[in-house]
Amino acid sequence: MLTLTSPFETRFHRVPAGAKLAALTVATLIVMPLSQPWPILLAATIAAALYLSEGPRFSIHGLRMLRPLWPFLAVLVLWHGFSGGWQPTEVWAGAAIGIKMLTAVALANLVTMTTRLDQMIAVLERVASPLRHVGLSPRVLAVSIALVIRFVPVLMGRAGQIAESWRARSSSRPNWRIVAPVTLAAIDEAEQIAEALRARGGI
């Protein structure tokens, strides 16, 4: 999951969070083992249709949130192409993995885009409730997972801003030198969230 809650209201917002997460789990278990072209392309088409059913603005927003995956998809195809001598079967093997990954992440994004964070935490806490018997707090686990879902895209956006600042001040492309400011930004975000949690009684 890469994205935040969608700014556009959709019919998926009215579906219970538990039902969406259960459907996502089943869909992922079905999609990932696929190997034949037509079932893989059908799964990708269904995912695209779910986005398109809510209009162009929602679809464009969802497509924009998938941009971080494109470099990984390119690497997959290139790796299989070079390692297999650009044989059609090898190129398809890389493309198939990429399409399945894109489809799974798109479906996961659809869930997080249409589910409020408090609903997500409530579902995760219920799912993790058996862990209470082995001494683990379901609340801590649920909040931790929800924070990852919430702040990975935030930190990616912060990294993008830092890279843009680099480009504005230098003709060279951003390199390893932005690692330090990105790390400090992540630490700053973590401290702010920790303070907010403590102010609300902690977990």
| Radius of gyration in angstroms for the set of CA atoms belonging to the chain, rounded to a whole number | 20
For 60-86, write each residue's pLDDT tens digit.
Answer: 988 888 887 888 888 877 777 777 667
Token readout for 76 is 């997959």
pLDDT at 10 over 80: yes
CA distance 62 to 121: 22
pLDDT band for position 2 (cuts 50, 70, 90): very low
Q: Give me the helices (H) in the chain, please.
A: 17-31, 37-52, 56-64, 70-83, 88-113, 117-127, 138-169, 179-199
Residue 80 burial class via C-beta count within 10 angstroms: exposed 0-12, middle 13-18, buried 19 and up: buried
pLDDT averaged over the chain? Answer: 84
% of the chain with per-residue pLDDT over 90? 27
Cα dihedral 152, 62, 167, 75, rounded to 10, equals: 80
- Over residues 25-51, the pLDDT tens digits come to 999 999 999 988 899 999 999 999 999
Query: What's the chain's length in residues?
Result: 203
d(CA 189, CA 155): 8
For the chain, give every domain's residue range: 1-115, 117-203
Smallest CA-to-CA distance from 54 within 14, 3, 94, 100 is with 14
Distance CA 3, CA 143 (A): 17
Considering only residues 194 and 103, tell me which one the structure prediction assigns the higher pLDDT: 103
Average the pLDDT over 133-139 and give the result.
81
Do residues 122 and 17 lie in contact, with contact meaning Cβ atoms separated by under 8 Å? yes
